[in-house]
Structure 1
Amino acid sequence: MQASSSQGESFCNEDLRLRQSFSEPHACQDHGPTASFLSGASGFRMRDIQYIEASHVTVNTGRADTGNELINDGWKLLLKNASPNALYNSGAQHDSPGCDENTRIEVIDELMGFIEDRDNHPQRLLCMTGAAGSGKSALQQTIAERCENSGTLLAAHFLSAVDPTRNTVATIVPTIAFQVGSRNLSLKHLISAVVAQDPFIFRKSLQTQMDTLIVGPFRKFRDCADLDINTFPSAILIDGLDECKGEALQAELLTAIRLALLADDLPFRIFIASRPEMAIRTALEPGGHLHGVAIHLPLSDKYYAAKDMCRYLQRRFHGLSPRVGDPLWFTEKDINTLVKAASGQFIYVATAFKYISEPRGSPMDRLKIVLTWTPHGGQMARPFEALDRLYTNILLNAKEAYEAVDTHRGRDFLLLFRIYQLNSSQDLSFTVSPDILNSVLDLESNATQILISDLRSLVTLECGSRLREYHKSFYDFLDEDSRAKDLFVPIAHVYAHLAKCQMQNIMKYTLELDSFNEWEELMLSGSHKEILWEAVTHLGLSLKNDRGFDDEIVSFTQKGGWRKIDKLFPPAHRKALKESQAGDVSKCHTGLACLSRVPVYLKNREPETAAVLSKYLAKWIRDINTWSPANCNPKL
């Protein structure tokens, strides 16, 4: 900052010409005699006067300070459209501290290296994505403070979804322009002047705003001040892109940054942090407009923060020792338990510590609550209430975005996501491949990717299609109605939906039921055979928790569904035996046992349906041991 401050002491010629053009009267050159009138008069005031002679015109407005006032008016209008809460050192940031000492050292060094070591980092945009609560904002805060101390910070903007003054793109460019102008008086006047000349600039596109309020003034200042751009602050930080309202506006901001701020003749180095939501993810992926342009730092995948979390908790717990009166009030095992539960996400340990350190409570007692806490309806303690709010907000936004798509009408986002989540975590009575599950549910081939488009800050895909959670506590949240509340999907609803889909798939395929004895003889393509096999072998398991869709079972019975299963069950069972799929054979037996419960609870409500199913069940239970193929010794 020293170099830039000395440049700010003397205005460049361009700036002086600009101010003079506002403040000096305009007059044509005239060397002849001028008229004099009201000679000797006194006791009166003259306001504006126009004196016209044939040879020239002189206009005197009577206001020599017009230029300064216009510049001041421009700056005031800029401030009106900026967001003071978005500054890294604003009062609104008091609850968002930076990283603890001696934590996140490796990633901080990489980020500062990007900003300061221009020779080894030719790319001038770095996008850091990470799961919700992975510590992105704490890193941004730390980088902002370090850049300020080293004189490299030009501007920082911290977005927040809950703050209406900084959850929109409308304030981003004005806030950055304010900080740019605050770094140098000449830049301030240049920016103020363009605002005064175009007071509607804040209603124009983001790229136009950047070109007009940042790029244009900076180029003029650089050229007329003979500026060495290597000595001028260059770091522009934007935190929480995902917290900005409007996916399309997030994408517009990224495009404007690329087109305006990354021009070859500009020195800016830009660091953006965001959850890996749609706008930034598609921009960084192959084919996206930032692919190859930006450095992508996937925080949750590249840096595992377990050791940093241990250091964080040790330091914070030691700080509570005077309150407790015992320096040994916590153990290393306690810390390891908390860190393991965090699944690499800093927000978990930060939330736990905030609860434990409550001034009106006992840290020792509250630590015990966190370590042993299991949610239930009567539980009064809520140590992870802040996490639950985070999960709730993300899920609600994802639900709204998914169900707003016209081709998704009638779909239940929460139910579908719960099915995929339980299938991936193998918490259902059976597990199917994601591709087959897409077909079972009659969804698109890339249904999993579409479903989690707005949940990438909580889950990711492994092997292209299987879900993996970033936060173990997120799945705990989904499993507990006392935490998920209105977002809770009981597992019984999952099985009910799967059963309906399985019955539909069984009825969907038209088959000559007497034309085959083995599964391989079915006149269906490979994938359709798999879908049908899944429906036949798993229907009983899906019906085990049913109590709410008698109509579907009655309709299935009336359309000959059980007769169809009667022909399909034996070859399906033999297929599992031939392929030595002991687990699938066991599921066939378990499925029959589960099916045998259905007539019991249908007996009084739908006696005819119960009687039909009972007849087939008796036959299947009697004959199942005769379905084995010849010379087959399954490994059961």
Structure 2
Amino acid sequence: MQQTTSPSPSGNILQSASHVIITGGSFVVGSQSNVTTTVNEPNKWLEFLHRKVAHNAILNAGGRADAVKCFPGTREEVLARIEAWIDGKGINRERRIFWLSGPAGAGKSAIVQTLAERCMARGVPMINFFFFRGDFTRNRARSITPTLLYQLFTLYPELKPLVGAVFGEKPMILSQTQYDQVEHLIQNPIRTIQEDSIYHQPIVLLIDGLDECNSAGKHEQEVLLQVFHGLISCENSPFIVLVASRPEPHLTMTFNEVGSCAESIFLDENYRPSDDIRLFVVAELTRIKNTHHLGRTLDDHWPSESSISAIVDKSSGQFIYAATVLRFIANSSASPALSLDKVLGLRPVKKSSPFAELDAIYTYILSQVEDWDATKDVLAAQIFNSAMREPMGRPVHITLHTILHPVGYQKHELASYTSDLTAVVKFEHRRDELIFYHASLSDFFCDSMRSGEYHIDIDAFTERIAPAHIKGIWDLASSIVSFLVVARVNQPTPSVDEALTSCPPHFEWRRTIESTVDPFVYWFSWFLEILQKLYFHKNNQLYQLILRNWLIWFRDLNIVPPGIDFESAELANAIWKEIITTKSNLVKGETPCAQQRAKKTPLWRRILQAP
């Protein structure tokens, strides 16, 4: 079991962060916030636009862990049909939007990646955006217009002065709706340059993983579909759009509204995926046999036809199963024959589950982990982090070490605990985070019926780390992270109650961060709201005790004038006024450490008295 360690300056979560913004009531660790920028100066708009581009969302971006394409010779029927649509052959040209859908792991992203590369090879004008839920730089809609525009500049450099004029007239255009952004920055400028051309070649817009856009839930995905429909429906539009996603109900209904304007493919057995999977499996096992360090121990008849058929049959038409199995065999240090035998000996937990076979593979891979308790914590921290939200509901990214350090984990340990899981996850050292190769993996862990003994209870994880974060506060950043962690608590436990009622750790407010006072007040006010939700109706007496405790802690930071109001939480103002008017005395409920801290000169007074 890990021992809790005390924070030290070397563990400062802001020390090595490259994107730390504290402004306008928003605090983000390792992420980005919206920043208002003036773009009226010549060419400043272009620099501003480039900062908004999601580079990982573009074809062949170096930061994409999921950049896969179709194995040669596979999905040819699907690719041919879509390319015929792109070329306007044999399909109603009025259908200018194409929906490529299918279950998780069916290979949609590989098809879009392959289409994009083929468009480039054939000289077909093409722009693209690859959404991915696990990458915060490309799982939101706000960067889609800048990213598409960035690619259009490469195809049509003459667009730049037209777009620059738009920024001159509308410097806040990127803060407006998706409709306005696409209309003024893409639709109108493209129409202008094409009016001067006698050749109107279609521009292909490829959108992959729309269902992984997390900006504002399902509504934002629907809005983007409607925006794309508007883009291709305007008069003389050069655009045609392909969207790939899972067949989520809300997307199905939105496509139904589009009606006759849409062409579609659902990746099912009609396209004979088992034939393609067999081709892929045979080729990959041959490669493993030729490259694995124990490949020379395999006999001439390995793999057997029955083994190949077993993998194909268990794939159920989804490439994700075959890809996971083959990655496991290739990455295992054991003989490929032994690894394949272990895979074939697995049995699904539940026959009724569509992911039963995949779950069986996940379960076996997890059974090989040496220290499951530690690995489980790292996985739980990643799932916890992916759902982290700041007060306005925007995602907040913090490092795995930041989440796990208060419960005793050191940064250099984290990658080791997931080293047995290379078939399903990737540890990103630069960003100190895990990348799940498949979106279904998180669902697997959180569903006890699917994962069984490998179930990850995020509520229990939160209730365990919350007391450690509260007691481990030692600076501005760690206090805000603690507020974020407490906000994820659904049902307070005795350990959470004890941590919130104990004397919170005190830290000195450095003069170098005086500009962060207002944002910190914003975060603290939000924290009081969280306390109200947790305790006010369930245990009002305990709520008042905890509220008083933290208001005294906040007062003793000596950072704000006594006249501040806390209207966000019940009873907060009354208790606040009480403790600031009797600060020279030991107020009922105050601890000796709080009384001692109260003797210090407030920062706000030192600021006013400074020469």
The alignment's TM-score, normalised by the length of structure 2, stands at 0.51
Give the match for residue 593 of structure 2: none
| Cα 1:255–1:358 shift into 2, 3 Å | same
Q: Compute the displacement of 1:190 (Å).
A: 1.8
Q: Secondary structure at the match of 2:247?
A: coil
Q: Does residue 252 of structure 1 match 2:223?
A: yes
Amino acid at match of 1:76: E
Q: Compute the displacement of 1:294 (Å).
A: 0.8
Give the match for residue 211 of structure 1: 183
**Residue from 92, 102, 126 that aligns with 2:98:** 126
Give the match for residue 630 of structure 1: none
Amino acid at match of 2:80: D
| Alpha carbons 1:98, 1:142 under 8 Å: kept | yes
| Alpha carbons 2:129, 2:144 under 8 Å: kept | yes
Give the match for residue 354 of structure 1: 327
Give the match for residue 368 of structure 2: 381
More off after superposition, 276-285 vs 176-185: 276-285
Amino acid at match of 2:163: I
Give the match for residue 264 of structure 2: 296
Q: Does residue 238 of structure 1 match 2:211?
A: no
Q: Compute the displacement of 1:484 (Å).
A: 4.3
For 1:106 and 1:361, how far apart are their aligned partners in 2?
37
| Cα 1:189–1:362 shift into 2, 3 Å | farther
| Cα 1:284–1:69 shift into 2, 3 Å | closer
**Residue from 321, 332, 340 that aligns with 2:313:** 340
| Alpha carbons 1:154, 1:236 under 8 Å: kept | yes
Q: Compute the displacement of 1:156 (Å).
A: 0.5
Amino acid at match of 1:202: L
Q: Secondary structure at the match of 2:113?
A: helix
For 1:478 and 1:271, how far apart are their aligned partners in 2?
36
| Cα 1:355–1:71 shift into 2, 3 Å | farther
For 2:343 and 2:126, how far apart are their aligned partners in 1?
42
Q: Does residue 366 of structure 1 match 2:334?
A: no
Q: Compute the displacement of 1:339 (Å).
A: 1.4
| Cα 1:110–1:171 shift into 2, 3 Å | same
Q: Compute the displacement of 1:482 (Å).
A: 2.3
| Cα 1:479–1:156 shift into 2, 3 Å | closer
**Residue from 155, 161, 173 that aligns with 2:145:** 173
For 1:97 and 1:281, how far apart are their aligned partners in 2?
26
For 2:106 and 2:366, how far apart are their aligned partners in 1?
28
Q: Compute the displacement of 1:83 (Å).
A: 0.6
| Alpha carbons 1:86, 1:166 under 8 Å: kept | yes
Q: Compute the displacement of 1:214 (Å).
A: 0.5
1:302-339 CA distances to partner (integer Å, 9 max, x unpaired)? 42411111100100111112231245321111111111
| Cα 1:118–1:209 shift into 2, 3 Å | farther
Give the match for residue 306 of structure 1: 274
Matched-pair identity in %: 29
For 1:196 and 1:363, how far apart are their aligned partners in 2?
62
Q: Compute the displacement of 1:94 (Å).
A: 5.0
Amino acid at match of 1:297: I
For 2:46 and 2:365, how far apart are their aligned partners in 1?
57
| Cα 1:171–1:227 shift into 2, 3 Å | farther
For 2:74 and 2:124, how far apart are their aligned partners in 1?
22
Q: Any residues of structure 2 matched to 1:64-103 within 5 Å, and which?
A: 70=41, 72-93=43-64, 95-103=66-74
1:204-261 CA distances to partner (integer Å, 9 max, x unpaired)? 11111111111111111112x324113xx51110000000011110011111111233
For 1:102 and 1:71, how far apart are their aligned partners in 2?
50
| Cα 1:296–1:201 shift into 2, 3 Å | same
| Cα 1:279–1:177 shift into 2, 3 Å | farther
For 1:346 and 1:368, how far apart are their aligned partners in 2?
20
Q: Secondary structure at the match of 2:77?
A: helix
Q: How many residues align?
A: 342
The alignment's TM-score, normalised by the length of structure 1, stands at 0.49
1:391-418 CA distances to partner (integer Å, 9 max, x unpaired)? x999x999xxxxxxxxxxxxxxxxxxxx
Q: Secondary structure at the match of 2:367?
A: coil
For 1:477 and 1:364, how far apart are their aligned partners in 2?
31
Q: Compute the displacement of 1:102 (Å).
A: 0.5
Amino acid at match of 2:325: A
Amino acid at match of 1:381: Q
1:421-472 CA distances to partner (integer Å, 9 max, x unpaired)? xxxxxxxxxxxxxxxxxxxxxxxxxxxxxxxxxxxx99xxxxxxxxxxxx9x
| Alpha carbons 1:74, 1:193 under 8 Å: kept | no
Amino acid at match of 1:84: H
**Residue from 107, 111, 127 that aligns with 1:155:** 127
| Cα 1:279–1:178 shift into 2, 3 Å | farther
Q: Secondary structure at the match of 1:133?
A: coil
| Cα 1:361–1:200 shift into 2, 3 Å | farther
RMSD value over aligned CA atoms? 3.8
Q: Secondary structure at the match of 2:265?
A: strand
For 2:448 and 2:317, how far apart are their aligned partners in 1?
17
Give the match for residue 3 of structure 2: none
For 2:281 and 2:365, how far apart are their aligned partners in 1?
29
Give the match for residue 301 of structure 2: 328
| Alpha carbons 2:96, 2:232 under 8 Å: kept | no
Q: Secondary structure at the match of 2:121?
A: helix
Give the match for residue 37 of structure 1: none
Q: Compute the displacement of 1:485 (Å).
A: 4.8
| Cα 1:276–1:378 shift into 2, 3 Å | closer
Amino acid at match of 1:135: G
Q: Any residues of structure 2 matched to 1:458-537 within 5 Å, and which?
A: 478=449, 481-486=452-457
Q: Secondary structure at the match of 1:292?
A: helix
| Cα 1:248–1:69 shift into 2, 3 Å | closer
| Alpha carbons 1:177, 1:191 under 8 Å: kept | no
Q: Compute the displacement of 1:479 (Å).
A: 5.0
Give the match for residue 80 of structure 2: 109
| Alpha carbons 1:72, 1:192 under 8 Å: kept | yes
Give the match for residue 269 of structure 1: 240
Stretches of structure 1 that go unaligned for 5 or more consecutive residues are: 1-67, 399-456, 459-470, 488-636
1:553-603 CA distances to partner (integer Å, 9 max, x unpaired)? xxxxxxxxxxxxxxxxxxxxxxxxxxxxxxxxxxxxxxxxxxxxxxxxxxx
| Cα 1:221–1:284 shift into 2, 3 Å | same
| Alpha carbons 1:207, 1:260 under 8 Å: kept | no
Q: Compute the displacement of 1:79 (Å).
A: 1.1
Give the match for residue 285 of structure 2: 317
For 1:378 and 1:151, how far apart are their aligned partners in 2?
43
| Alpha carbons 1:77, 1:195 under 8 Å: kept | no
